């Protein structure tokens, strides 16, 4: 009897599950999806034309150095880079003395040798780039209750990462006058609002984000004389963050093509050997 009851209960569960699935599938197939501002006006990233893009991409180390300068002078005020060691700057063409000088310009958590208490000390090349906040609570309190993400791997964490960073930094707009493809945001969605403390950006998934536009023309002074326009700085810092996320990208590309060519050559040899060994065998 108990066995019969368990079978009936199991069948009832299967029937309910199939009914739920059928109702959901029918609803999805017949009901028209609600058109939202996020769906209509969220844009895919624009092409920043970074040298690192594509299968044969390489790094423009001069541009990456400029991107590091933008990160240091602008982005580091809110965003950490905790997976990157200061000594890694040597891979960008900085000399050992320059790396040590850069390290000493950063203040990192340490211990006071006299009191044993936690304090900030000059960084060394072996240190990792420090966080601007002691913890997530302090970060949220300083940024309208939004914790700025760590940028070490941001171009891997976002689709089309390098282009996404570039587009986001250059994409801020006024929602009251914003248009795309001849459509006005306010005319299409009059109820759309950007809450106080947030900023409109069509490259952000829900169109509103806590970070205000961080870059403006002439905000940094490049040592190589490059004009520090907003567009240029956005490209440079995007190139830098592509490097922090995948510093071995150039080596991987350089190794990958010979490996692919070898595999193709080996496959041809294997096929010819197969034909030679089995050519006299009748089916």
* C-alpha gyration radius of the chain: 27
Range of the domain at 67: 37-84+129-251
Q: What is the pLDDT of residue 281?
A: 67
Output the pLDDT for position 136: 93
CATH code of the domain covering residue 150? 1.10.760.10
Q: Is residue 167 part of a domain?
A: yes
Q: Answer whether residue 96 is part of any domain.
A: no
Q: Is 1 annotated as a binding residue?
A: no
DSSP-derived secondary structure letter, 135: S
All residues at 6 or more sequence positions from 45 whose CB lies less than 8 Å from its CB, including other chains: 159, 160, 163, 164, 166, 167, 168, 203
The average pLDDT across 154-181 equals: 96
Give per-residue pLDDT as tens, 267-282: 988 888 888 887 676 6
Any domain includes 12: no
* Residue 211 annotated in ligand binding: yes
Q: At 262, is the pLDDT very low, low, confident or very high (cuts 50, 70, 90)?
A: confident
Instruction: Using pLDDT thresholds of 50, 70 and 90, give the confidence band for residue 126.
Output: very high
Provide mean pLDDT across the span 153-174: 97
**38: nearest Cα among 160, 163, 209:** 209
What mean pLDDT is reported for the chain? Answer: 91
Residue 256 resides in a domain: no
Number of domains in the chain: 1
Does 101 fall in a domain? no
Asked if residue 83 has pLDDT above 80, the reply is yes
13 located within any domain: no
User: Does the pLDDT at position 109 exceed 60?
Assistant: yes
Let me know if residue 122 belongs to a domain: no
Q: Given pLDDT bands bounded at 50, 70 and 90, which one contains residue 32? A: low
Cβ proximity of 149 and 79 under 8 Å:
yes
pTM here? Answer: 0.83
Contacts of 72 (CB under 8 A, 6+ apart): none
Residue pLDDT, tens place only, 191-246? 999 999 999 999 999 999 999 999 999 999 999 999 999 999 999 999 999 999 99
CB 108 within 8 A of CB 86: no
What is the model's pLDDT at position 112?
A: 82
Residue 170 falls inside a structural domain? yes
Output 114 or 33, whichever has higher pLDDT: 114
75 annotated ligand binder: yes
Q: Between 283 and 156, name the one with better pLDDT.
A: 156
CB 169 within 8 A of CB 48: no
């Amino acid at each position: 009897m108990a066995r019969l009851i368990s079978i009936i209960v199991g069948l009832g569960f299967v029937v309910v599950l199939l009914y739920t699935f059928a109702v959901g599938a029918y609803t999805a197939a017949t009901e028209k999806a609600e058109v939202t501002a996020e769906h209509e006006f969220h844009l895919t990233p624009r092409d920043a034309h970074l040298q690192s893009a594509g299968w044969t991409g390489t790094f423009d180390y001069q541009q990456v150095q400029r991107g590091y300068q933008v990160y240091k002078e602008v982005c580091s005020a809110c965003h950490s880079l905790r997976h990157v060691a200061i000594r890694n700057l040597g891979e960008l063409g900085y000399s050992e003395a320059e790396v040590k000088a850069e390290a000493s310009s950063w203040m990192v958590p340490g211990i006071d040798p006299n009191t044993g208490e936690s304090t900030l000390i000059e960084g060394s090349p072996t240190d990792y780039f420090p966080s601007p906040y002691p913890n997530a609570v302090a970060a949220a309190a300083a940024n309208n209750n939004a914790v700025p993400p760590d940028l070490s791997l941001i171009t891997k964490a976002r689709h089309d990462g390098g282009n996404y960073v570039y587009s986001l930094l250059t994409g801020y707009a006024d929602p009251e006058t914003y248009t795309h493809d001849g459509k006005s945001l306010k005319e299409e969605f009059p109820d759309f609002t950007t809450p106080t403390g947030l900023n409109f950006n069509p490259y952000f998934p829900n169109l509103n984000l806590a970070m205000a536009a961080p870059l403006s023309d002439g905000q940094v002074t490049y040592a190589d004389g490059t004009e520090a326009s907003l567009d240029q700085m956005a490209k440079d810092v995007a190139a830098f963050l592509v490097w922090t996320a995948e510093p071995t990208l150039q080596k991987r590309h350089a190794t990958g093509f010979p490996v692919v060519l070898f595999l193709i050559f080996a496959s041809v040899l294997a096929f010819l050997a197969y034909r030679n060994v089995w050519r006299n065998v009748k089916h």
